Amino acid sequence: MSHTVVTTTTTTTTTSTSDGRFLNIGYLRSFPGLLKFGQVIALLIAFLCVHYSSWTDYSAYQYFEVVTLWFLIVFLIFLLMYVLRLQAKIPCINWTLTEFLHYAIGTILVLIASIVAAVKSYGISGLVAGSVFGFIATFLLAISIWTSYKVTCGSQPTSAAV
């Protein structure tokens, strides 16, 4: 009788994406980083254009200022969070879903604010420019929704039993 002994060796290697540096500057060169940076800049310009223009309809433009400033701060926090690698230090929060919900709400509110600002601009160039940059920010936010949706709710693998 002959016996055969089979020995299996499993080698597991782990690689770390962190290179030990505090800042993740490479994120600013990636598509999501450039998109977040573009959103922050567009919202900042939209806010500044409306804030430093002379307007008479206070309620419409105060709404625009509040919405653009709020989402400017939120998306700046998201940008800094990824640059400083804080999302890895707080794993109890689903950051992808959180960003997706902020993008969805932000897109709707910035679009409404931009439409109201465009309708009530009365040809004042600063207000028109603010609403145009509001529409640009809305477009960038819609792109973020689309890319975030692909990651959050993308195609689920299906298996068919045959």
34-50 burial string, b = 16+ CB within 10 Å, else e? ebbbbbbebbbbbbbbb
Give the predicted TM-score (pTM) of the model.
Answer: 0.76
Using CA atoms, how far apart are residues 114 and 131, in angstroms rounded to an integer?
A: 5
Task: Please name the residues in contact with 108: beta carbons below 8 A apart, sequence gap of 6 or more.
Answer: none
> How many CB atoms are closer than 10 A to CB 69?
16
Domain ranges across the chain: 38-84+91-151
- Residue 37 to residue 59: CA distance in whole angstroms: 29
Tell me 81's DSSP state.
Answer: H
Run means of pLDDT, 10 residues per run, the chain, 162 residues: 67 50 84 93 95 78 93 93 87 86 94 92 88 96 85 59 55
Can you give the pLDDT at residue 14?
Answer: 41
Tokens of 98: 């959180």
Residue 40 is predicted with a pLDDT of 95
Half-sphere exposure of 6 (CA within 13 A, CB side): 1
pLDDT attached to residue 162: 54
Q: What is the pLDDT of residue 147?
A: 85
State the pLDDT at residue 155: 58
Contact 141, 110 (CB under 8 A): yes
